[in-house]
Amino acid sequence: MIQKVIIKRATMKGDGSEGNPKGLFYGRFKINGIEKTFTEDFEVMNTDDFEKAKERGKRMLFHKFERFGDNITITYDDDLEKQIDKQKKNFCTELLKMPEMRDIDSPPSHKCYWVVESGNEVSVRRASKIMKTVKILNILIGMSYKERINICFYFAPHLEPNKKNNSELFTILGDLKTDAKGIHNGLLIQDEARMDAVLNVYYKNTEESQFRTTIYKAIEWGIINLETKGYYINAEYIGGDKEAVVVYMKNNPQIFENFVLPKVAQKDIVIQGDDMEKVNAAKFELRHNVDRESKPLEDLRAEAKELGIKNTSNSWDKGKLIEKIKAKIAENISSNTIAEIAD
C-alpha cells in the first residue's frame, strides 16, 4: 500500500491552539538525546555526517517550510521494493519521534509546533498487478488442455505438464493461494515479472513461443539429450544450455523441421487424446473445491438434491452430508462426461 504522511507547519492563529511557532523549521532535533538532521531529500543523518554532506549540496528540511502554514506530503510504498521507499519510511518513523510533533487527532499543545496527518491509498502498482492477474486468469479459463500443457512447458518444463490432468494444470498455472511472502502459487501469476512474460513475451510473439516450447519438449522427452557437457542430438553437441540450443536450432532449421518437430508432434498426438473432452476447468474447480464447511445447511441440502442424493431433506449432520456430496461428485467425475462434470 502507498502510505502518506503530511507534515503541516502550525499557523499563527493568535489563540495558541496550534502552539506558537517560533522561527523556521531547521530540521535538526534531539531524539532520545541524540541530535539528528533531517534533509529535504528524506535522509536522517547525524550532525557530523550532515556537515560533510552539506559540502556536496545536501540541504536541511527547513527549506520546505519557509512560510507559516507550509506543509509537505511524503509518500512511500510499504512493500519497500525500492531503496527510496525504505529511506522515506525511516525518515517518517524518525520524524514522528520529534517531541514538537503531534498527531492531527491529538489535543492541541503549546509545545507542539508541527502537525502530522497520515493515511494510505491503493498503490497504483498493486492495482496494476491485480488487473494483470485477472487478465491472465481469464486467458487461462479459455485455454484448452493442450494449450495449458504448452504454456506450462514454456515456463516450467520440469513439471512434466503432459502427465497432469486438466484440473491439476489449471491449479498449477493459476492457483491464487499465496505463500508466507504473499506470492501466488500459480505459475503464471507468481509475480509481475512472470505476468509480464506471459502477456508481453509469450503472447506477443507466438511464433517464437511455439518454437521454444517445441525445443523444451524435445529436451524434456529425451529427443534432445542432456549429458555432462551439455545438450546433444545423437552424438552431435548442440549447446551448453537451453538458450544455446535455441540459437543452434535457429541456425540449423533443417534439423529442427526434419527431426525435432516431427518427433515432438508424435508425442503431442498422444497428449491431445487426453483432453478430457476439453472440460471447462473453471467450472470444474468451482464445483469440486468449494468451501462447503462455511455453507449453510440448507444450501448443502440443495446441492445434494441437485446431485441426486436421496433422503437429505432431514439431514442434520453437516459433516456426513458433505462427505456424501464429495463421494457423489467423485463418482460422477469417473465417467468423464461433460454432462456429469459441468453444470
Does the structure show a pLDDT above 60 at 338?
no
Specify the higher pLDDT residue, 340 or 128.
128
Average pLDDT rounded to a whole number, residues 258-276: 75
Does the structure show a pLDDT above 70 at 18?
no
Q: Which of 3-12, 60-69, 249-258, 272-281 has the lowest mean pLDDT?
A: 272-281
- CA 93/CA 77 separation, integer angstroms: 14
Alpha helices (runs of H) in the chain, residue ranges in sequence order: 47-54, 83-95, 124-142, 145-155, 166-174, 192-197, 206-220, 242-251, 253-255, 261-272, 281-288, 297-306, 318-333, 338-341
Q: What is the DSSP letter of 61?
A: G
- Determine contact, residues 3/89, Cβ cutoff 8 Å: yes
Residue 121: per-residue pLDDT: 53
Instruction: Give per-residue pLDDT as tens, 116-165.
Output: 666 665 556 667 788 899 999 999 998 988 899 999 999 999 999 988 88
Residue 280: per-residue pLDDT: 42
Residues 6+ apart with CB under 8 A from 107: none
Average predicted confidence (pLDDT) for the chain = 77
Assign 247 a pLDDT band (cuts: 50, 70, 90): very high
List C-alpha distances in Å: 86 to 101, 120, 219: 21, 16, 43
Assign 200 a pLDDT band (cuts: 50, 70, 90): very high
- CA 136/CA 292 separation, integer angstroms: 27
Residues 6+ apart with CB under 8 A from 168: none
Residues 6+ apart with CB under 8 A from 337: 277
Instruction: Give per-residue pLDDT as tens, 270-320.
Output: 665 444 443 443 344 444 455 677 778 888 888 888 888 877 766 677 778
Residues 6+ apart with CB under 8 A from 332: 307, 340, 341
Residue 245: per-residue pLDDT: 96
- 297: cell is 445447511
- Determine contact, residues 87/43, Cβ cutoff 8 Å: yes
Specify the higher pLDDT residue, 42 or 245.
245
- Identify the residue whose cell numbers are 500443457: 149
Q: Percentage of residues in the chain with pLDDT exceeding 90?
A: 30
Residue 72: per-residue pLDDT: 74
Task: Give the Cβ contact number of residue 259 at 10 Å.
Answer: 16
The SS3 of residue 73 is strand
- Determine contact, residues 186/172, Cβ cutoff 8 Å: yes
Residue 9: per-residue pLDDT: 60
The SS3 of residue 313 is coil
Residue 252: per-residue pLDDT: 93
Considering 13-17, 71-75, 219-223, the range whose residues carry the highest mean pLDDT is 219-223
- 212: cell is 521454444
List C-alpha distances in Å: 328 to 68, 72, 225, 309, 334: 74, 63, 45, 8, 10
Q: Percentage of residues in the chain with pLDDT exceeding 70?
A: 71
Does the structure show a pLDDT above 90 at 230?
yes
- 310: cell is 436421496
